[in-house]
């Protein structure tokens, strides 16, 4: 017989960067994990070490198609997160966000299961309010190159709140700010993985624009802790909740930090800023502090060191 405290959790996008860490933590907590992925940006390698775990199950499936499984909790992370990948097939990105949300919400509705949406700071677009609080509605270009992702994620939030109001679904909406760490794909295209791989392989560090744009970087362990805490809150807490690190740095500072930490001889080169690239990003995490009793524990330098070690091993170089 199944232990009453043991839950069956579906992690859609479970073979991705964040999903694989989440699967691991859920197994550590004694739960059963169904990891679903279409392997668009995720990889079996990320969850290889879990494949033989008796409480772990892997399903190849695309969330844009209906899914019939039996679970207690659903974490919907299925969606490419890097601009390079989500802009590769923008129509598919919107379908994944919108049809994927509808299917996951339909599943949750049939099962009366709790469901968490991995939303994003991109719902704020290129923000005119700083730092971003959850009650800010954002400044998004609806027809630009980032819109497939930004508007897709905004529509998914709308669907979550409408299923909550209309069908009394138990929802949790988490707005994730830039998160980095081991298991980012080396060709993921996001800034932390790009700079580390470039620095470790002695290639030029590609700084887009003049590097004065800012981001705030959250280490993956902190992010996963935030997701678990949000899922565990009582049903009155539905979000949205910003989860991210409020320590802001310019992209140029990040590049210099990574060159220094890797003792690299790489030089920084300047490339054009992609269109609609937000100038400033920093979460106000007062809500996460108050509602989840959560705040990031890992400092940027510490997180960068572990990420550098990971890429060092992956690229087959001895750690520096």
- Which of ligand NAD, ligand UDP, none binds 97 (CB below 5-8 Å, type-dependent)? none
Query: Is there binding between residue 81 and ligand NAD (CB under 6 A)?
Result: yes
* DSSP secondary structure letters along 246-268: --EEEHHHHHHHHHHHTT----E
Residues 6+ apart with CB under 8 A from 251: 191, 207, 208, 209, 211, 212, 213, 214, 215
Query: Is there binding between residue 37 and ligand NAD (CB under 6 A)?
Result: yes
CA separation for the pair 319, 282 (Å, rounded):
31
Of 153, 170, 190, 287, the residue at the interface with ligand UDP (CB under 6 A) is: 190
C-alpha 319: how far from chain center = 27
CA separation for the pair 122, 150 (Å, rounded):
5
- Which of ligand NAD, ligand UDP, none binds 64 (CB below 5-8 Å, type-dependent)? ligand NAD
- Which residues are bridge partners to 132 per DSSP? 283
Query: Is there binding between residue 274 and ligand UDP (CB under 6 A)?
Result: yes
> What is the three-class DSSP state of 286?
helix
- Known active-site residue 310: no
**Are 251 and 215 within 8 A, CB to CB?**
yes
Query: Is there binding between residue 19 and ligand NAD (CB under 6 A)?
Result: yes
- Segment contacting ligand NAD (CB under 6 A): 71-79, 124-132, 137-145, 285-293? 71-79
- Which of ligand UDP, ligand NAD, none binds 202 (CB below 5-8 Å, type-dependent)? none
> What is the three-class DSSP state of 150?
helix
Number of residues forming the site for ligand UDP (CB under 6 A)? 24
Query: Is there binding between residue 194 and ligand NAD (CB under 6 A)?
Result: no
Catalytic residue among 149, 163, 180, 310, which? 149
Question: Which residues here bind ligand UDP, judged by CB under 6 A?
Answer: 66-68, 82-83, 102-103, 106-107, 109-110, 178, 190-191, 194, 206-208, 213, 215, 251, 273-274, 277
């Amino acid at each position: 017989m199944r232990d009453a405290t043991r839950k069956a959790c579906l992690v859609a996008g479970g073979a991705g960067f964040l999903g694989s860490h989440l699967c691991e933590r859920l197994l550590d907590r004694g739960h059963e994990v169904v990891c679903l992925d279409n392997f668009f940006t995720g990889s079996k390698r990320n969850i290889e070490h879990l494949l033989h775990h008796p409480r772990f199950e892997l399903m190849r499936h695309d969330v844009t198609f209906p899914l019939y499984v039996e679970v207690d909790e659903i974490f919907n992370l299925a969606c490419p997160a890097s601009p390079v990948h989500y802009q590769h097939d923008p129509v598919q990105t919107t379908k994944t966000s919108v049809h994927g949300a509808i299917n996951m919400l339909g599943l949750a509705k049939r099962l009366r299961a709790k469901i968490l949406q991995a939303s994003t700071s991109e719902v704020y677009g290129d923000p005119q309010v700083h730092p971003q609080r959850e009650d800010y509605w954002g400044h998004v270009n609806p027809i630009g190159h980032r819109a497939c992702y930004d508007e897709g994620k905004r529509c998914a939030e709308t669907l979550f709140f409408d299923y909550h109001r209309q069908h009394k679904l138990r929802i949790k909406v988490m707005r994730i700010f830039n998160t980095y760490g081991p298991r980012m794909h080396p060709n993921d295209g996001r800034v932390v993985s790009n700079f580390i791989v470039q620095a470790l392989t002695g290639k030029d560090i590609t700084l887009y624009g003049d590097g004065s744009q800012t981001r705030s970087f959250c280490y993956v362990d902190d992010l996963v802790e935030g997701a678990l805490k949000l899922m565990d809150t009582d049903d009155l807490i539905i979000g949205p909740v910003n989860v991210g690190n409020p320590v802001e740095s310019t992209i140029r500072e990040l590049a210099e930090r990574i060159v220094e930490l890797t003792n690299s001889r790489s030089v920084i080169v300047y490339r054009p800023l992609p269109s609609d690239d937000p100038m400033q990003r920093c979460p106000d995490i007062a809500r996460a502090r108050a509602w989840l009793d959560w705040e990031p524990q890992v400092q940027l330098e510490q997180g960068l060191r572990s990420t550098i070690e990971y890429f060092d091993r992956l690229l087959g170089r001895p750690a520096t």
